[in-house]
Each structure stands twice: as structure tokens, then as C-alpha cells.
A and B are shown apart, each in its own frame.
Chain A
Amino acid sequence: MKKTHFKKTALKYKDLVYSQAYYFINNREDAEDITQEVMMKLWRQIENIERSYVKAWLLRVTRNLCIDYSRRRRDYSLDDQNMESDGVQIAELIDPQANPEKEAINRDSLENVLKILNQLPEKMRNIVIMRDIQDLTYNLIAEAMDLPINSVKVYLHRGRKYLMKKYSDIENQSE
């Protein structure tokens, strides 16, 4: 019974957790490790979590683990920040069917957005990912972040404006 419920929940939300971790941490291996840790925690706690709260709980645990991983990475790697993610992994985000010119523009654009997304402060970054990439509701984000909806909107607005400014700086530099 427990395992069936766990399996169903894990399969349903694995992409949500993985995406959140991937965009936050910007590293595929770490995102896989985080997803596994989240799922192990889910296994231990699943009987104590209300079913209506599972999604928010998963996002909350993912967020905490992402913060831990970021701290560790900051401690151990000061210079090679996201070296592999900037090149290899961006290519995987691009639709292989797209035409080469469009692909090049998309690639640059995504690279830049990912790069600046990674510079956002933790709360803003999590909220922007949840709202604008994962398309989650304000209610769910507020629950996951343990913030009132209005605060979520404020962080989101600031995050978007920060990204806008940084993005235009990068665009201006490359011109």
C-alpha cells in the first residue's frame, strides 16, 4: 500500500522535482542526486504528508536541498561555476528540428537567461523557476515557499526585472 502510493507519487512528480533542481542548480548530476534525495525523504515521510500537500512538500524539500547543494558547491568550486552546464547542457534544451540560424539565436538566448537566472538570489530564483518555467500557481508557490501570495508576487516581479536588466546588459555587451 505504502509502496504503491509512493511509486505513484514519485513517478507523477519526478519531472517537477528534477526540473526545479536542474534550473536552480544548473547541473544535471546534482539535479539527479537532489531528486533521489527528495524521493528518499518522501518515502520516509509519505504516510505523514497530507495528499493535498504532497506537491508543495516536494517543492519545499527540493528547495532546501538545492540551497544545501549550492552552499557546498560554493565552498568547493569557486572558479569553475557551471562550466559544463553552459555548453553541453544548453544544447540539450534546444529543439533539434529547429533551423540552424534560429537554433543559434535560441541557444544564445537560453544560455544568457540560464546564466543570469543563476545569479538571482535564492528566493527570487526559486519563485521565477516555479512561476515562469514550471507554470505553477501562486497558491502552490506560496505554500512551498512558506510566504504570503503578495510576497511571492513581489519576489517574482523583482526577479523578472533583475533578469530583464541583466539580460539587456548582456545583449548590449555582445553588440
Chain B
Amino acid sequence: MARKIFLYGLVMITLLSCLDDADCTVEGTTVVNIAFIKKSLLEADTLEFVNITLEGSDSIFYEKDTTESISLPINTHQTQMPITMNLEDGSSFHLTLQYGVVPRLISEDCGLEFRIEGLTIASHDFDSVALVDPSLEDEITTNVELYR
């Protein structure tokens, strides 16, 4: 009987070998979602941007755009990211995010992901700021609310 099971096991193990397929599921995101709120009315605040710049990047974000919320990529090369928001009315606001970056290999085929942990507000010049959700787990949830 044991010999039969030994042979049976050989077949089963061959079948099971396909269970090691790569799974490209990511556990988080490297995008921070920021919403603007009118402090006096506690309602959405629509801002007209000239542009938004991120320190360390040559890219321009939200150029000539009007919106009440923004989504920005986190700089995974650093643990701090100063953001400058230039508005159509000539004013500009600054916000610096601080966080930890922990890399994780998903698989050889899927590559790396970066887990952003412990998001905090290092500095800002808005009227007030609320850290709504410091965990960057999806690309929908608002992480930071900026009041002015």
C-alpha cells in the first residue's frame, strides 16, 4: 500500500508544481490623495492651479487645472516630499509630507512595490491640515485634508 501511495505522491507533486504561479497583487499605493476644504463652510474648496511641483522631480502636475482634490505620487527615493502649489490668483501654498518607505519584492515577474508607512505632515502654510488616513492602501481614500 505504501508503495502505491509513494507512486501516487509523485503524480500529485507534479500536479501541484503549478501552484507557484506569480501573483502580482500589490498591498498598497504610492499615491497620496489630498482634498481641499473651505475652513469657514467645511465644504469642498475648488482651487485654480497654475501648477503643482514636487521637490526632486522635473515634472509639472495639475498645470492650468481647476479641481477640489489632487492625487500626487510619493517620492520613494526620499522619506520627505515638499510640495508647492501655485494658484492662478498669484498665491502659493507649501506642504511637506514625511513617511517611511519599505520596499517589497512581489515576484520576479511583477517586480517591486513600495509600502508607504507612517505618513505625517512635516510642515505646511495652510490654515489647518488634517491627516485623515495615514495608510496609503488604495488610490481612492482621501489621506490629507487641507483647509484655507
The answer to whether A and B belong to the same complex is no
Residue numbers of A with Cβ under 8 A of B are none
Residues of B within 8 A of A (CB): none
